[in-house]
Amino acid sequence: MNLSGVLFFPVTPYDSAGALAQDVLAEHIGRGLAHGTGGVFVACGTGEFSALSQSEHARAVRVAAETVRGAVPVLAGAGGPLGAALEQARTAREAGADGLLLMPPYLTQGTAAGFAEYVRAIAAELPVIIYQRGSVVLDPATVVELARIPGVIGLKDGLGDIDRMQRIVLAVRREIGPDFTFFNGLPTAELTMPAYRGIGVELYSSAVFAFAPEIATAYFNGDDRLITEFYAPLVELRSKAPGYAVALVKAGLRLRGLDVGPVRAPLTDLTPEHLAELDSILKNGLALVGA
């Protein structure tokens, strides 16, 4: 699977009644395609994976696949209880997804062998990128064994432990080869990309691309001013409340004129004060890139 450039994680829009707004999702994804994303990850963390019903998940993936029409890979979120993850994987395959971003199992923790069997079952449906975060904290030997499972094609890191990731990357490159995909999946990943590039990880997910693709693309193309002038204050704002990693993106989209609705509980939307702060940060970033 050829993932390249800035990886796009669209939000899941809701209408005034709180239902999935499929037309808005299609428009949202279309805007991202127009700015040259290298992959679309639908119904994942930014897409409020944990808040979606199985039906909503399936419809969101279908909208993404029909909008993208093969232009770039489409991956869907899957995870939680094994039965639910398998249903998500199967409906994603039927909808036309190219692969899955595998979220951690919900609450249950087992052995490395047990996690490998969980991954093996889901990877039999579609290619899988494992998401290291929360309860999934992997050592180099475990990642090598997971990478040997047919259908396991990559690892997204949401921990930010650079020492651990350096050892994982070295072990996988030595034992498996160069085709296994790694990418930085921290919130506002741009701020930590200098460190990830230092260990050979070039790909990253961009929450900013979802609401300000002009800024995300300018950073990708080398505008380092944005680290101090845009990304650093955005990360400071994001840290002011749990769940703001998603709420900021939805608020940013609304500020840009796309009504994607609020976040779903237990997440909460920005306070008026924080929304005004986001508006100022966003305007400054857009001015810097001439947008």
Which residues are annotated binding-site positions? 46
48 Rama class: left (phi>0) / alpha (psi -120 to 50) / beta: left
Could you tell me if 159 and 134 are in contact, meaning their C-beta atoms sit under 8 angstroms apart? no
The residue from 14, 106, 118, 156 that is catalytic is 156
Distance in angstroms (rounded) separating the CA atoms of residues 170 and 165 = 8
Distance in angstroms (rounded) separating the CA atoms of residues 190 and 27 = 25
Distance in angstroms (rounded) separating the CA atoms of residues 135 and 181 = 21
Distance in angstroms (rounded) separating the CA atoms of residues 195 and 64 = 32
131 assigned to active site: yes
The residue from 14, 118, 131, 196 that is catalytic is 131
Q: Of the candidates 272, 239, 52, 242, which has an alpha carbon nearest to the alpha carbon of residue 63?
A: 52
Could you tell me if 74 and 129 are in contact, meaning their C-beta atoms sit under 8 angstroms apart? no
Annotated binding site for pyruvate: 46
156 assigned to active site: yes
Active site residues: 131, 156
